[in-house]
Amino acid sequence: MTLRGILAGALLATSALTATSLSAKEMNFAIVTPPDGHYGQGAKAFAEKMNELSEGEITINVKAGGSLGGERELLEGEQIGTIELAMTSTGPVGSFVPEIYALDFPFLFNDYDSAHEILDGEIGDELLAKFEDKGMIGLAWSENGFRHITNSVKPVQTPADVAGLKLRTMENQVHIDAFKELGASPTPMSWTEVLTSLQQGTIDGQENPIPIIVSNNMWDMQKYVTLTGHVYSPAVITMSKIHWDQLSEEEQGWVREAAKAGVEATRAVVAETEKNGVATMRENGMEVIEDVDKKAFQDAVQPTYDRYGKEYGEAMIQRIRDAQK
């Protein structure tokens, strides 16, 4: 074959590859929770909306159960382009986008309606915009819910009852410090390690919203759950900026619409699980402590505000408080 023929063949092959890549795309959407949980339902809704809007040209493969790594690894993967999309808790996000730590202070949000209004509004949009400089696109605020304490040692009703418990926390300095103020021995670790650590007795307990407790059958490892509601835990849907920049403006619009669908589905599951979760936990043998002295818990963790407020966004924290008055 002549040189001209070789070059012509290469050009045709390249053109065909380019046409294929433009007409059909596949992207992974990674989560660390089970596929049938609230993250899984949100990711499924995202995938379905993308399929609808792209008329089948963009396929979203949901990778659940931490199959692509823990949450920190997912965010790092987005930065370097090995993972396209993820939904994570805000726990590890502050290490990448420090402004997000402002959302993680204890007893900051009054209720679900307040949290949704704030995160879906100007404040939420401002915080999402901070992701781009870190190699990610913040698409939308999703949800875990209000966090509660579970353990296998004793009922917890007051801060004094927390003292001495080895509790897994997220890899988040604000959370770690708050539990130190309560006298616990906080043990930060990735969610992918938690269930094994509970089974082996490496830790006494953990803290998470009801949907996480229920979807992971926590009653198999934990006897007590205390409804402290000490932190409202958002989730966030993000995309690798590397992959985002490869999309057309129309495709980027589809991604944002799909993210909204994912948020709606996730919040719906959280709301349903919150409504029925207490009964489900009791039916499965957990002792649910609802009579909690929340004011005592708030007072006990106040030093966390004093210590980290200025460093992680005192003005933002005040704006969130003022928005709920």
Averaged confidence pLDDT in the chain: 91
Distance CA 222, CA 150 (A): 6
Other beta carbons less than 10 A from residue 291's beta carbon:
8
Instruction: Determine, yes or no, domain membership for 212.
Output: yes
- Chain centre distance of CA 290: 25
Distance CA 209, CA 190 (A): 16
**CA nearest neighbour of 152 among 25, 306, 286, 301:** 286
pLDDT of residue 310: 87
Overall number of domains in the chain: 1
1 pLDDT exceeds 70? no
pLDDT of residue 172: 86
Other beta carbons less than 10 A from residue 284's beta carbon:
12
Q: Please check whether residue 101 is in contact with residue 172, taking contact to mean a CB–CB distance below 8 angstroms.
A: yes
Instruction: Determine, yes or no, domain membership for 309.
Output: yes
Distance CA 316, CA 312 (A): 9
Instruction: Determine, yes or no, domain membership for 311.
Output: yes
What's the average model confidence in pLDDT over 272-299? 95
Distance CA 251, CA 243 (A): 11
Q: Please check whether residue 89 is in contact with residue 235, taking contact to mean a CB–CB distance below 8 angstroms.
A: yes
202 pLDDT exceeds 50? yes
**CA nearest neighbour of 92 among 235, 282, 211:** 235
State the residue for tokens 């704030």. Answer: 118
Whole-number percent of the chain with pLDDT over 90: 87
CATH number at residue 285: 3.40.190.170
Instruction: Determine, yes or no, domain membership for 197.
Output: yes
Distance CA 61, CA 29 (A): 6
Instruction: Determine, yes or no, domain membership for 3.
Output: no
Domain coverage including residue 188: 25-322
Q: Please check whether residue 166 is in contact with residue 206, taking contact to mean a CB–CB distance below 8 angstroms.
A: no
Distance CA 91, CA 206 (A): 14
**CA nearest neighbour of 214 among 36, 63, 32, 70:** 36
**CA nearest neighbour of 154 among 97, 216, 94, 204:** 204
pLDDT in tens, 36-72: 999 999 999 999 999 999 999 999 999 999 999 999 9
Instruction: Determine, yes or no, domain membership for 19.
Output: no
pLDDT in tens, 96-149: 999 999 999 999 999 999 999 999 999 999 999 999 999 999 999 999 999 999
pLDDT of residue 15: 38
Instruction: Determine, yes or no, domain membership for 120.
Output: yes
Instruction: Determine, yes or no, domain membership for 143.
Output: yes
What's the average model confidence in pLDDT over 204-214? 95
**Whole-prediction pTM:** 0.86
Token duo for residue 113: 């309606």
Q: Please check whether residue 81 is in contact with residue 240, taking contact to mean a CB–CB distance below 8 angstroms.
A: yes
